[in-house]
């Protein structure tokens, strides 16, 4: 009973802090979401056409108007082509280019903790100097592992996402390597597995909840992930206290 009470208290504390960070930065979150989704969509659309996938995709959709099974078969065949494999690789790189935007939120949340002024320019902290190469490289590495895990065995995707949940803030604030960040993340998970798991699940649900509101709401809810990750990081890895 004592352990359950402790877990509930930790979850409430983490989520309460996350909501506070999220509420204080709503305007910046909208900018983040617009930049992220518009860039990913436009570049993905361009390369989808560049690799000649659009005609075959539209053809499969057209067939689907009268034969849904045939459409599924057509899309599956499209996914087996070399051009589609090349498109997936490019997609990983596109998302990796946008990943440093997430680091900016950690910089902003730290300024909120320290009661320092912050602005939209802080959102680009992950692109400054060596930070870009560090976090772009991490995102490429993470993205390819995610991609191959997804193709090999879907549950591995969830495991990979879980054991790297603190990697970005650890690399940003404590300047550790990718593998050291994974080791420290696993150590934290062992200490408080239930709390971290529940917070991740709730963060995932809320982040994509905005889709319900005509897809526009996701511009506000999508970045909530970063607030929860930072809040958990402060709980288990506060390097300032150390």
* pLDDT at site 210: 62
Residue 126 above 90 pLDDT?
A: yes
In a domain, 105, yes or no: yes
**Least confident segment among 46-55, 101-110, 186-195, 199-208:** 199-208
222 vs 171, residue with greater confidence: 171
In a domain, 64, yes or no: no
Q: Which residues contact 131 (CB under 8 A, 6 or more apart)?
A: 100, 103, 125, 172
Mean pLDDT of 117-136: 95
166 vs 67, residue with greater confidence: 166
In a domain, 151, yes or no: yes
CB 198 within 8 A of CB 11: yes
> What domain count does the chain have?
1
pTM of the model: 0.90
pLDDT level of residue 211 (50, 70, 90 thresholds): low
In a domain, 106, yes or no: yes
In a domain, 93, yes or no: no
* pLDDT at site 241: 46
Q: What is the Cα 90 distance to its own chain's centre?
A: 17
Q: What is the mean pLDDT of the chain?
A: 89
* pLDDT at site 127: 96
Q: ∠124-127-130 over CA atoms, to 5°?
A: 140
Which residues span the domain enclosing 203? 2-42+100-237
* pLDDT at site 206: 83
In a domain, 214, yes or no: yes
In a domain, 202, yes or no: yes
Mean pLDDT of 154-164: 92
Mean pLDDT of 13-25: 94
Mean pLDDT of 135-153: 92
Mean pLDDT of 18-39: 92
* pLDDT at site 214: 46
In a domain, 61, yes or no: no
Q: At what angle do helices 224-237 and 2-24 cross, to 10 degrees?
A: 130
Q: ∠33-17-106 over CA atoms, to 5°?
A: 45
Residue 143 above 80 pLDDT?
A: yes
């Amino acid at each position: 009973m004592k352990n359950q009470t402790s877990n509930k208290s930790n979850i409430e504390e983490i989520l309460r802090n996350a909501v506070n960070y999220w509420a204080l930065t709503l305007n910046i979150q909208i900018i983040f979401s617009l930049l992220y989704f518009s860039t990913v969509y436009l570049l993905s659309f361009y390369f989808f056409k560049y690799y000649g996938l659009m005609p075959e995709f539209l053809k499969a959709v057209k067939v689907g108007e009268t034969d849904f099974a045939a459409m599924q078969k057509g899309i599956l065949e499209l996914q087996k082509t070399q051009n589609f494999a090349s498109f997936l690789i490019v997609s990983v790189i596109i998302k990796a280019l946008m990943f440093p935007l997430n680091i900016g939120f950690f910089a902003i949340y730290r300024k909120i903790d320290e009661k320092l002024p912050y602005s939209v320019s802080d959102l680009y902290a992950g692109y400054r100097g060596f930070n870009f190469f560090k976090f772009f490289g991490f995102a490429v590495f993470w993205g390819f592992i995610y991609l191959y895990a997804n193709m090999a065995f879907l549950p591995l995707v969830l495991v990979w996402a879980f054991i790297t949940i603190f990697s970005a803030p650890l690399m940003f604030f404590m300047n550790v390597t990718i593998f050291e960040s994974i080791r420290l993340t696993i150590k934290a998970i062992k200490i408080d597995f239930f709390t971290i798991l529940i917070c991740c699940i709730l963060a995932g649900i809320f982040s994509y909840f905005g889709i319900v509101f005509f897809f526009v709401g996701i511009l506000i809810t999508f970045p909530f992930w970063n607030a929860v990750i930072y809040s958990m990081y402060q709980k288990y890895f506060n390097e300032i206290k150390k």
